[in-house]
Amino acid sequence: MKRIDLRSDTITLPTKEMFDAIDRADLGDDVFQEDPTVNRLEVLAAKTFNKEAALFVPSGTMANLVAVLSHCQRGDEVILGDQAHTFLYEAGGISSFGGVHSRQLVNQPDGTILLDDIKHAIRKEDVHFPPTKLICLENTHNRCFGMPLSSDYVNSVAEVAKNDSILVHVDGARIFNAAVSLDTSVAELTHEIDSVSFCLSKGLSAPAGSLLCGPEDFIYRARRNRKALGGGMRQAGILAAAGIIALENMTERIADDHQNARALAEGISDIKGISIDLDKIQTNIIYFSLDHPKIESSLFLDKMCEKNIHFFELGPSWYRLVTHNGISKDDVSNVVEEFHQLLS
C-alpha cells in the first residue's frame, strides 16, 4: 500500500525538472557572492516580492532568526503572536542568540493579532522596559488553521508600526499559499512591510532553503549575521537551482493542494465524532478533533499508520493534516475511505 504522508508539506520531494536543473547548475563560492545560480535566485526572489534585495539561507528558522538579528539590538523587544512559529518552534533562537526579548500577544483563530493589542503592547520610552523594535507576523499561520492574512490587515499593522518607528517582519514560510488563497500576489501581501522570509521546501517542493527579502542595507546586515550563524554555504547553487524552478514553475500548482485539503476536510466532516470547521479550510492545512465512541484517540494514529496513512496529533485528540505536492486526488479519496471504514 502506498504511503500517504500528511504530516507536513516539508516532506515534498524535488521534481525531475529540479534534478535536471541541479545537474546543469553553474557554481561558484556563495560566501564570496560568486555563485551565479544563487545570485540569480536572489534577484528572482527580490523581484517577485518587489524588494530591493534577497538572501538565500539554509532554512526558514535561520531566515527568521537572521531577520530579527538584523533588525534588532540586544535588549530590544519583538512583538509576536503566542502561536507564532518563531516563538514556539524555533528553539528560542531570538533570545539565546540575539538577546532579544519576545512579547507574546494572543493570536486570534484567523492568525491575526488585534490591532488594539499591538498598540497597547508598544513600549513607551522608559528605562524599566525593553524598547519595542519589531513586530513579527506569520502568513499563512500554521497553528491558526493555516489561515491567510489579508493585505489590508498586514498594511494596518504596518501603519501602526510606522507611527512608532517600529519595523515589521513577516514569516512567510507559506506565503504563496496565502497569495493563492486570496487571489493576489506575494508582492501585494508584503509591499508595506520591512522584510519577509519564505520557504522553498514546503509547497514549492525544493529540497532545502529559504529566502529573506528586504532593503539592501538590511540584506547587507543579514548576510553578515548568516555568516555568524554558520549559514554561509560555498557551492550552494546546487540547492539554488531547484529553488529557481520552485519560484518559476511551482507556485500556481499550490491551488491543487488547497482543493485537495477542501475535498479531504469535506469528506471526513460528516463522520460521527470528528469536529472540523470547514470555514477555516482556506489553504492546505486541516485541523480536527476526535471524540468517538468506537475508538480511543490514543489508538487512532496507530490504526491509521497500519493503513500507511500518517499525520500528527498536536494535542489531546487534536490532529493536523497537510496536503502538498506528494498528495494526489486518489490519495485523498483513499484517506476519506479509510477514515469512514475505521470510524463509521
- Kindly give the pairing relationship between strand 309-310 and strand 210-214: unpaired
The CATH homologous superfamily to which domain 253-343 belongs is Aspartate Aminotransferase, domain 1 (3.90.1150.10)
Residue 168's beta-bridge partner residues?
135
pLDDT digits (tens, 9 = 90+) for 30-46: 999 999 999 999 999 99
Return d(Cα 264, Cα 109) in angstroms, integer: 21
Per-residue burial over 58-87, b if 16 or more Cβ lie within 10 Å, else e, is bbbbbbbbbbbbbbbeeebbbbbbebbbbb
Mean pLDDT of the chain: 97
pLDDT digits (tens, 9 = 90+) for 251-290: 999 999 999 999 999 999 999 999 999 999 999 999 999 9
CB 9 within 8 A of CB 322: yes
Q: What is the DSSP letter of 75?
A: T
Per domain, the residue ranges of the chain are 12-249, 253-343
The percentage of the chain sitting over the pLDDT mark of 90, rounded to a whole number, equals: 97
CB atoms within 10 A of CB 337: 12
CA 156 to chain centre: 21
pLDDT digits (tens, 9 = 90+) for 283-331: 999 999 999 887 887 789 999 999 999 999 999 999 999 999 999 999 9
Where does residue 117 rank: exposed (0-12), middle (13-18), buried (19+ CB within 10 A)? middle
SS3 category, 103: strand
Sign (positive or negative) of CA dihedral 289, 294, 299, 305 = negative
82-110 mean pLDDT: 97
pLDDT digits (tens, 9 = 90+) for 44-60: 999 999 999 999 999 99
3-9 mean pLDDT: 98
CB 240 within 8 A of CB 40: yes
Architecture of domain 12-249: 3-Layer(aba) Sandwich (3.40)
pTM given for the model: 0.96
pLDDT digits (tens, 9 = 90+) for 195-207: 999 999 999 999 9
